[in-house]
Chains A and B, each alone.
Chain A
Amino acid sequence: MNKILEVQELRKVFHVGPKKDLVAVNDISFDILENETFGLIGESGSGKSTVGRCLLELIPPTSGRLFFNGTEYTAFDKAAKKIVHDNMQMVFQDPYYSLNPRKTIYDTVVDTLRVNKEITKEQRNQMAEHALSLVHIKSEDYGRYAHQISAGQQQRVGIARAIANNPKFVVLDEPTSSLDVSIRAEIIDLLKHLQNDVGMSYLFISHDLSTIKYLCHRVAVMYLGSIVEYGTAEQLFKNYAHPYSKALLAAVMEPDPNKKRSDFRLSGEIPSAINLPKACPLASRCSEACEKCFKEEPEMIEVESGHFVKCHFAKALEDYKGAKEQLG
């Protein structure tokens, strides 16, 4: 399968004060295939939103390499920006604030297309109308403003704006977190449908595990700027290997009175990402941590085909079952 996006050793550091460096993204590498939904799970401070913005060059990475369809676009120059603008787009978390309050929703979608100098006005309008119809916004609503439509509709407009120029890759930064439960489901199903009909890859950033499980093909779990585990959704949810993944899954309450949740908890809270030491990011909270965890950064170990874990206790492939028992 073709790799639409490849990220190598992406690093983003924010200089927040004298001798204070906030490591938002800590040398991560992953790839996304064509027509795949890749999930990025993490809590606050994990760096997941920063990753999305680095991929779209909204924030310049400190170091690392980015490839789209085999072509490198790491440099922040005109050619790189062209690659981004022609092929990648983003959907944001807060549906209301992601729309210009003074523009009609029709204009919002058309404006995005204006950047493409190669299309005529008629083509622009056609593409905008096509995008709006794909998200099921009716033509009688085209003249409405953001505050006149519901939150679900606002987010649909945000999606229409993102897909209007037929991008191959869309970053979705917590697109359903601010929506009501019943609306969330509609938007998720819409995204799935669009992927099947139109064909594009998604980077789906979220902290909601059940949505990720439903929507994503492969998933990466982030903690304090590092990817601590990644693999297919099934591998992660059934054969999780990292203690952090275990804690995340243990925190979920199943809507089934017969399934009680696990007692596994991490102690303490997420530490600050300023001046991160070179060690396992979870060491301070992990009940299994040993001396090595505090001194040495773990390697990414392949525990199953395509399933990687960043933990000193992970055992490669054949030894995997042993590691699972050790973690308990």
Chain B
Amino acid sequence: MKKVLDVKDLHVYFPTSNGDAQILNGVNISLNEREMLGLVGESGSGKSVLASAILGNVKKPGTIGSGQVILDEETDVLKLSEGDAQKIRGQEIALIAANARGHLNPLITVGQQLSEAYMAHHKCHKKEAWQKAVEMISAVGLTDAELRAKAYPHELSGGQAQRCMIGMALINSPHILIADDATNGLDVTVQAQIMDLILEMIRSRDLASIFITHDLGVIAQCCQKIAIMYCGQIVEYASVASFFDNVAHPYSQILINSLPDRRDAVNVEDNSSFKPDPLNLSKGCLFCERCKYASDRCKTEQPPMFKVSEDHEVKCFMYEDVKDGGIE
């Protein structure tokens, strides 16, 4: 099984006048061919910076501290020049973000935007690019594609604009897709349609994909692997089946308990003020302050990833001595 993407010990920080804000603190994830990985993180977890890093798009003042992002087992995206990185973006890896209309140029038609995206990676005539654009617009489920291509973004509904974004991402046939909160802000029934479309595209084009979301439902239903992100680190990394069978990390447990149907403890206390300060991270476990199982060791030492089972790793001292299978 070829690893199309391998992120190794990635550290990214943003220098500020008050010190360095540590945003990514040692991220390790990998993606195999045709695999779907779900990345769960709340605000402040660094998930969007991770997406930017994978695309080789960490802009100043963001700085790569250390680590690698290996594409197709050969190229380190982080070491590429801007010109080479641009060749990869769209052609090998593509990104779909939320708020489609905010990412589309309001002054040119969607057909033109897709054409431009195509011409960025293929030397061809405008006419040929336009053809491809119209084909793509039809492929993402918009009727009357010829007509639709001549529309401006504000003339489209949220769902239609998101379809165009998906078209733009896929027009150059990448083999890796990153969906960053792709259905945020859309109506529930439209979200369902867009998810159907994304899944259909992934299946028919044999794509490997990363779904960045905070919706555990999406991951449960669509992904094979899941990674939980907290404060710039992956704290739990497992196959979806193994994860939902045994939610190991205390943070993951909080997330699961937040789901109405899984609620086992009622919690009215205010825990939101425990967000770690990226300018001043502790030497110990970054989740320590919020963790009800924290011990003294957790405050001074950072836990490594421990294997809970064949396809399940957790970054927590509670699982230090667990060998395959024997979990509480």
Contacts and interface: CB of A to CB of B under 8 A. Distances in A.
A186 B42 CA distance: 15
Nearest to B222: A253
Contact of A253 (B221, B273, B275): B221
Interface residues of B, number: 45
B108 interface: no
A265 B263 contact: no
B259 interface: yes
A183 B142 CA distance: 37
A153 B271 CA distance: 9
A81 interface: no
Task: Say which size band chain A's interface belongs to.
Answer: 35 or more
Q: Chain A interface secondary structure, helix, strand, loop or mixed?
A: helix
A161 to B, nearest CB: 16
B326 to A, nearest CB: 23
Interface in A193-213: 193, 207, 209-211, 213
A137 B270 CA distance: 8
A153 B221 contact: no
Nearest to B239: A257
Interface in B162-195: 187-193, 195
B255 interface: yes
Interface stretch (B55-63, B210-218, B296-304): B210-218
Interface string B30-43: 00000000000011
Contacts of A185: 257-260, 263, 267
A5 B241 CA distance: 46
A214 B187 contact: no
Contacts of A116: none
B260 A211 contact: yes
B217 A254 contact: yes
Contacts of B216: 255
A183 B290 CA distance: 13
B160 interface: yes
Most A CB contacts (10 A, CB to CB) among B160, B259, B262 go to B259
A270 interface: yes
Contacts of B222: 253
A248 B189 contact: yes
B272 interface: yes
A316 interface: no
Interface string B266-283: 111111110100000000
A153 B273 contact: yes
B240 interface: yes
A131 to B, nearest CB: 14
Interface string B201-219: 0000000000000111111
A275 interface: no
Interface in B217-274: 217-222, 240-241, 244, 254-263, 266-273
A251 interface: yes
Contacts of B221: 253-254, 257, 259-261
B261 A181 contact: no
A181 B214 contact: yes
B196 interface: yes
Contacts of B271: 152, 182, 186
Contact of A186 (B192, B195, B244, B270): B270
Nearest to B244: A257
A44 interface: yes
Given A182-B258, A265-B193, A156 B270 contact: yes
Interface in A231-271: 247-248, 250-257, 259-261, 265-266, 269-270
Contacts of B257: 185
B90 interface: no
A123 interface: no
Contacts of A259: 221
B255 A181 contact: yes
Given A252-B217, A253-B220, A257-B240, A193 B268 contact: yes
Given A153-B273, A186-B271, A250 B259 contact: no
A152 B217 contact: no
B43 A180 contact: yes
B268 A186 contact: yes
A199 to B, nearest CB: 17
Nearest to B215: A253
Given A259-B221, A269-B157, 16 more contacts: A43-B189, A136-B270, A153-B273, A180-B214, A181-B214, A211-B260, A213-B260, A248-B188, A250-B192, A252-B217, A253-B221, A253-B222, A255-B256, A255-B262, A265-B192, A270-B187
Interface of B: 42-43, 157, 159-160, 187-193, 195-196, 214-222, 240-241, 244, 254-263, 266-273, 275
- 10 A-B pairs with the lowest CB-CB distances in the bound complex, closest first: A214-B260, A253-B217, A152-B272, A185-B258, A251-B192, A43-B187, A255-B216, A180-B42, A150-B272, A255-B217
23 contacts: A44-B187, A136-B268, A137-B270, A149-B273, A153-B270, A153-B272, A181-B214, A181-B255, A182-B42, A182-B254, A185-B257, A186-B267, A210-B259, A210-B261, A248-B188, A251-B189, A253-B220, A253-B221, A254-B217, A255-B217, A255-B244, A269-B160, A270-B187
Interface of A: 43-44, 136-137, 149-153, 156, 180-186, 188-190, 192-193, 207, 209-211, 213-215, 247-248, 250-257, 259-261, 265-266, 269-270
